[in-house]
Structure 1
């Protein structure tokens, strides 16, 4: 039986644009992946399957007990006091165990514990194995993005689900955690659908579904095979289009030659009439025959032109045009190379216990490296003066602007255009719309509220805001490459490589880091 069945659904966005039209999908593959470029509707489709959204028309039927991994982690806000134990739904038995240890004889406590007398020891050991603090009463908002993602994934893999749908599960994970994720995927017994842009993760998946503006394409094979097959298909389609266009040009030339010959024959006939060397009856007969031939020929040419035009339109409709995302970052170099960040013997409240020395000069690009939970995001929070270091000194000689993992700078209840106008006062509305068009928000799309756009679109919007601050600040970029499709990720790397201001970058992708062209590395271990 399929995991789910989608029956000819359509879905319209709030501003009226149709995202899906008569889309059908019956998922049977044991291991499969859903891919597609930013904004094509992958997360919307998953939310339709989950029942969090309703299709404009059509129906969806789920046949399995499905567990979902959501890339947003909405249940853990920055100000949340939710503990790890509460997040895992284990607060009641753990509190009962503590009460019994303190002398409680309440039957309710014994009923809450059941047979789980070693729950506290096992949970602490499991958290340590996941590179998560073993204190299960610690608040979840103190965990890094990678630690929180791994905790949620561990919970899903060990719950009683018969199938899983994982929306970008490798985002925020370090290399060790990604290896762990691959092992969990291999060990899971039920069907599993992964939504991802991560080539390394997709290499392990034997069946690919590609969501495009034209619908859903299927491919049997892993991501490398898919890319190779797609390249061959694209080349074949381009050759077909080129061949048809050559036929159109050839037909146009032949038509032009035939018209010239007809004009020459007509001129010759007029000359004969003037000289009177041939009988008028014979000349009239030749003229009628020429007119009939010309009419037949014209009809035939028109039919061929219509056929070729139809073939061209059909082929062009199959061709998916690449989106050229444009990240506009300042490239004017500063000749002042003074130190704009000076952090000496800084001790973080979370993460590494080693004191940090960091001196950043104007124009330098730094990579802040380290595994999940080593304090990279905590360092950024301190540099923004949103938290205090335990000890050490910090001196900032420049404004700081941070793009965090969850794009918290965005006002989710305001439109895309409103967000740009709010944060970028130097841009006129016309200039803002031009910049938005450069990252894929065109026409009425600028009026979509930020909570309705995909993770990749949020990143592009946040990056546009970051890049148009009135004063050139130090950019703190916390995993900006997450959620981006391959093309957009390359465009962002190119823009950051040309940026001449100072930036500090957190990323777990060695290729992206190399493309940005970092000058220095601070390793938190």
Structure 2
């Protein structure tokens, strides 16, 4: 795929790319960048969903595109989503004796479409899904896999995937990892899934309206960036030293010129030489002094420009600065006891003591979210008892704790009525909502922005949470923000319960206990 001088700007005038030229060859390319950098926009341009203002995009054949939030008509049948309805109907007609030319044309070389369809569905863990089933009967994760199956059936030359593992459980993620690893054509995947990005051949980073290619997987990309950043920081330190030296030399030059000027005035006052010669000597001295002063001023200007250029190479990404409240749950202190049967899912018997870090894991549909909402009291259990001994707060997966019609500031004020407006705005600035950005309504926010706003509101509640409960917290965060959140959770001294399929994230935050929930089908066996 080739992009030549591609320029794209949003209708509000915000530039995304300007004269971007890029070639993406055969193999797997991971597309990374901070939230809002233009990753999904670039994928939409490649897919033809968006058209550039100028420039051209050439592709080697058919493109298969899986958007981040796949929306399907709930009444559509599975075979319609897979694009095989007409072929199946034509094969059925021929088998019934109707050999009309139109049926044969529709079938083409796809006489084995039923077998290939079932094979791909089985490969993606959808073996129990019927072709005549309605899409509305499938879960969100199953719909994502169904969308991927539709692309694999078409066998496109180019496969474009936008966050394909979002909201998938571990078993489904493993299936996506396998398909990505096995792809032999051109594949471009937007993702912050560290495990998925370990299987790519190269990383394309979207940054500052440009795209830079790095050979290797995520680990090699991060190493290359760190090496370049260390070199950039060394250049900054050297440039800063040079600026100081040039400033010092400029001052010393001024002192030296001042001495010469005093000596010249003394010579003039003594009038030991003819006035014409003395005037000529004075003019020559002034010219020489000007050149000398300009020389040092130019050197200082060059040093400052060198420093600016060096500083531009050092990354100062706008990353959230998560400051969790100073909460402490002492070892041996009770935080939670639950011995209950939630409305959905298996019975729960859990005792949390001290600053434990518990990972709640299990497939989609196993009841993780229901259990978390049962713990916080949002859902009463069918039976049993839930006792919280410390203040607890839940950041839900769908981030529905915010009022879409209200501004970010007003939403946070609901959770922290005792804080002043200035205090709220100062805290929001740490979550990258500065100035007028804090006045935006929640409805206008992207997924990552909504997460940041919800996290800010959660952490500013009164009293501060000593049991923090997170439901799939990394789903809408870029790699940099996940790193910041990880660092904050490491420093958190309260108890922690996290439901997540992100294994690297769970490993990084220091989980002390794993609580697996079985698949609902396993419960009925």
TM-score, normalisation: structure 2: 0.78
- The yes-or-no answer on 1:492 pairing with 2:485 is yes
1:94/1:120 contact within 8 Å kept:
no
Q: Say whether residues 1:216 and 2:214 are aligned partners.
A: no
Q: 3-state SS of the aligned residue for 2:222? A: helix
Q: Residues 232-257 of structure 1, C-alpha deviation per residue, up to 9 Å, x if partnerless?
A: 32233333333333333333222222
1:288 alignment partner in structure 2: 283
The corresponding residue for 2:20 is 23
C-alpha distance in 2, partners of 1:501/1:86? 50
Question: What residue number does 1:404 align with?
Answer: 396
For 1:184, the equivalent position in structure 2 comes to: 179
**Structure 2 residue corresponding to 1:523, chosen from 504, 516, 524:** 516
Asked if 1:68 corresponds to 2:65, the answer is yes
Shift of 1:505: 0.6
Q: How many residues align?
A: 502
In structure 1, distance between residues paired with 2:256 and 2:113: 98
Root mean square deviation, CA, Å: 4.4
Alpha-carbon distance in structure 2 between the residues aligned to 1:496 and 1:460: 15
Match of 1:46 among 43, 47, 59: 43
* 1:377 aligned partner: 369
Which residue in the other structure is 2:32 paired with?
A: 35
Q: Using the alignment, how far apart are the partners of 1:54 and 1:451 within structure 2?
A: 26
Counterpart residue number, 1:348: 344
SS in 1 for 2:154: coil
Change over 3 Å in CA distance of 1:251–1:220 after alignment to 2: same
In the aligned structure 2, how far is the partner of 1:183 from the partner of 1:518?
27
Unmatched segments (≥5 aa) in structure 2: 92-102, 519-525
Q: Is the 8 A contact 1:10 1:23 kept in 2?
A: no
Among 247, 250, 256, the alignment partner of 1:252 is: 247
State the partner residue of 2:429: 437
Deviations 1:289-334 (A, max 9, x none): 2111012223333433443333333333343313342123322336
Q: How many Å separate the matches in 1 of 2:121 and 2:402?
A: 32
Separation of aligned partners in 1, 2:393 and 2:347? 24
Q: Does the 8 Å contact 1:7/1:60 carry over to 2? A: yes
Alpha-carbon displacement from aligned partner over 1:206-231 (angstroms, at most 9, x marks no partner)? 23221112522123333333223222
Query: What is aligned with 2:453?
Result: 461
Structure 1 pair 8–498 and aligned structure 2 pair: CA distance change class (3 A): same
CA 1:88–1:387 in 2, change beyond 3 Å: closer, same or farther? farther
1: CA distance, partners of 2:327 / 2:11:
39
In structure 2, distance between residues paired with 1:396 and 1:32 = 48
2:149 alignment counterpart = 154
TM-score, scaled to structure 1 = 0.78
Q: CA deviation at 1:83?
A: 7.8
* Distance across 1 between alignment mates of 2:437 and 2:446: 13
CA contact (8 A) 2:412 2:460 kept: no
The range that moved more, 366-375 or 329-338, is 329-338
| Structure 1 equivalent of residue 95 of structure 2 | none
Counterpart Cα distance in 2 of 1:129 and 1:355: 32
- 1:194 aligned counterpart, secondary structure: strand
CA distance in 1, matches of 2:79, 2:386: 38
Deviations 1:155-188, CA, capped at 9 Å, x for gaps? 3323343321111223344555444323312433
Structure 1 residue 119: deviation in Å? 5.7
Aligned equivalents of 1:378 and 1:7: distance in 2? 50
Which of 482, 501, 517 aligns to 1:508? It is 501
2:51 equivalent to 1:58 = no
Select between 226-235 and 511-520 the one with higher mean Cα deviation.
511-520
Separation in 1, partners of 2:451, 2:162: 16
Instruction: Answer whether contact 1:72 1:406 (CA < 8 A) is retained.
Output: no
The aligned counterpart of 1:104 is none
